[in-house]
Amino acid sequence: MNILVFNSGSSSVKTRLFDMPSERLIASCQVEKIGQDDATFSDGKNQTIIPAPDHTAAIAYLCNHLDISPDDIQAVGHRVVQGGEKFIEATCITPEIEREIDALKTFAPLHTPPNMAGIRAGQTIIPNAMHVAVFDTAFHQTMPEYAYRYAIPTSYYTQDHIRRYGFHGTSHRYVSERATQMLDHPFTGITCHLGNGCSITAIKDGQSIDTSMGFTPLEGVAMGTRSGDIDPAVVLNLARKLGIEKTDHLLNRESGLLGLSEKSNDLRELLAFANKGDAKSQLALNVFTYRIKKYIGSYLAVLGQIDGIIFTGGIGENSPDIRLCILANLEPLGIHLNPTQNAACMGQEATLSTETSSIKIFVIPTDEERLIARETYRLASV
């Protein structure tokens, strides 16, 4: 069965074509800068400027490049960031389901519109395939109520559905399932998805029981441009001074590593600046690693005995320096990093703990599109 996966952002679409159930990757490509004059297609080898005024045009171009007829694609999997409380697993997209996903855009105004644009474009270009929505939030629907509820009046939860939802669920689920395979029993531990967006998840017997992101992806650790955890009174103070829209932009687009360093949200650039003695870049790195360390410590307290800690995402998989800073001085907790193995690990699956470490340290590259393909195949093959 040919399964096509779409990951649609506000100005980009990434796609991967899988032969299922073997999971053989047939092709991978993407379009960026949708809606701009310099929209760009790339397939890992070549890069071309193309006409892509909207998602429909971008997806049509991708399908043409894949050199496969839409009639030969049996199912299409779509990444959807916000599934609310209703969608606890992957779901076949019907007109009613589409309306329900669209209604959730108030919870994820930056993510749901491009997700919906991708779904509608995919249905237009590949009308005869089954279309499946795979939700980032679904993996975290196993959190207990005391973990996902905010301490605000109950009516705001029951009527307005304000609660912690968590995100990056497909990534946390993928790496925890891979760890389960490696350990030969359900994984209990902490997964650290570290990229421009970052989230930490506590997993018990393969199920999410707490995660750092909340009602939106703004909560949690400091990120590339997001502030992460902040006193709500600061938000109120900023809103009085700047207004709601400017405050929203400041906290989501101008904060985090960028705001602290005043130079970049790219961790690689900040490491280079810090190595040259730039104090603000070093402070940004210190805040970043310190807050991740705090989440690891708190989740150790929540979980008790754990199998391991997993690093994934662009930073988690490729930055030995950041892993070293996060795990420094955690030896009394049974976490012992092998510095030689850590320094050598750049993007490949590896175990980085010493033989004496009671808690294993893993790097497991994430593959959200592969998990989406698995979920899509599961529904399409029934």
Same domain for 208 and 357, yes or no, is: yes
Over residues 251-267, the pLDDT tens digits come to 999 999 999 999 999 99
pLDDT at 348: 96
- Answer yes or no: is 62 within a domain: yes
**Peptide bond preceding 53 in cis form (omega within 30 of 0):** no
pLDDT for the residue numbered 66: 87
In order, the DSSP letters of 53-77 are: SSHHHHHHHHHHHTT--GGG--EEE
CA atoms of 226 and 291, how far apart (whole Å): 13
At 225, the pLDDT band (50, 70, 90 cuts) reads very high
* pLDDT reported for residue 46: 87
pLDDT digit string (tens) for 299-329? 999 999 999 999 999 999 999 999 999 999 9
* Residues 30, 339: Cα–Cα separation, whole Å: 36
Examine the domain organization and report whether 120 and 192 are in the same domain: no
333: DSSP letter: G
Q: Are residues 93 and 230 in the same domain?
A: no
Render pLDDT for 54-113 as a digit per residue (tens, 0 to 9).
Answer: 888 998 888 888 888 889 999 999 999 999 999 999 999 999 999 999 999 888 887 888
Active-site residues: which are they?
136
- Do 76 and 199 lie in a common domain? no
- 90 and 194 fall within a common domain: no
Full domain range(s) for residue 328: 184-363
Q: Domain ends where: 105, 135, 165? A: 135
Asked if residue 219 and residue 79 are part of one domain, the reply reads no
The reported pLDDT for the residue numbered 299 is 98
Q: In sequence order, which residues have a C-beta less than 8 Å from that of residue 191 and are 6 or more positions away? A: 171, 172, 175, 176, 200, 201, 203, 309, 310, 312
In a domain, 111, yes or no: yes
Is 228 among the domain residues? Answer: yes
Based on the domain organization, do 274 and 192 belong to the same domain? Answer: yes
Q: What is the CA radius of gyration of the chain?
A: 21
Query: Residue 327 sits in a domain of what CATH number?
Result: 3.30.420.40
DSSP code per residue over 103-150: HGGGT-TTTHHHHHHHHHHHHHHSTTSEEEEEETTGGGGGS-HHHH--
Highest mean pLDDT among 47-51, 53-57, 357-361: 357-361
Average pLDDT (38-47) is 90
Nearest CA to 59 out of 39, 102, 33, 30 is that of 30
Q: Which amino acid is at 109?
A: P
148 is a domain residue: no
In a domain, 86, yes or no: yes
pLDDT at 216 over 80: yes
Tally of domains in the chain: 2
Containing 6, the helix (H) or strand (E) segment is strand 2-8
Confidence of residue 45 (pLDDT cuts 50, 70, 90): confident
**pLDDT by residue (tens digit) across 325-349?**
999 999 999 999 999 999 999 999 9
Average pLDDT over residues 221-227: 95
User: Which of 222, 228, 223 is closest to 196 using CA atoms?
Assistant: 223
Domain membership of residue 168 (yes or no) is no
Q: Can you tell me the distance from the alpha carbon of 165 to that of 83, in angstroms, rounded to the nearest whole number?
A: 9
Those residues whose C-beta lies under 8 Å from the C-beta of residue 162, and which sit 6 or more positions away, are 150, 152, 156, 215
pLDDT (mean) for 221-232 = 96
User: Are 188 and 49 members of one domain?
Assistant: no
The answer to whether residue 374 sits within a structural domain is: no
Q: Is residue 97 part of a domain?
A: yes
- pLDDT per position as a tens digit, 271-298: 999 999 999 999 999 999 999 999 999 9
Are both 190 and 109 inside the same structural domain? no
Give tens-digit pLDDT for 111-132.
Answer: 888 899 889 999 999 999 999 9
Count of beta carbons in the 10 Å neighbourhood of residue 250: 17
Contact residues for 183 (Cβ-Cβ < 8 A; gap 6+): 307, 308
Q: What pLDDT score was predicted for residue 28? A: 93
Alpha helices in 254-278 (DSSP H): 256-261, 267-275
As a whole number, the mean pLDDT across the chain is 95
Same domain, 69 and 196: no
At 3-40, the pLDDT tens digits run: 999 988 777 889 999 999 999 999 999 999 888 899 99
**pLDDT score at 108:** 82
Same domain, 120 and 202: no
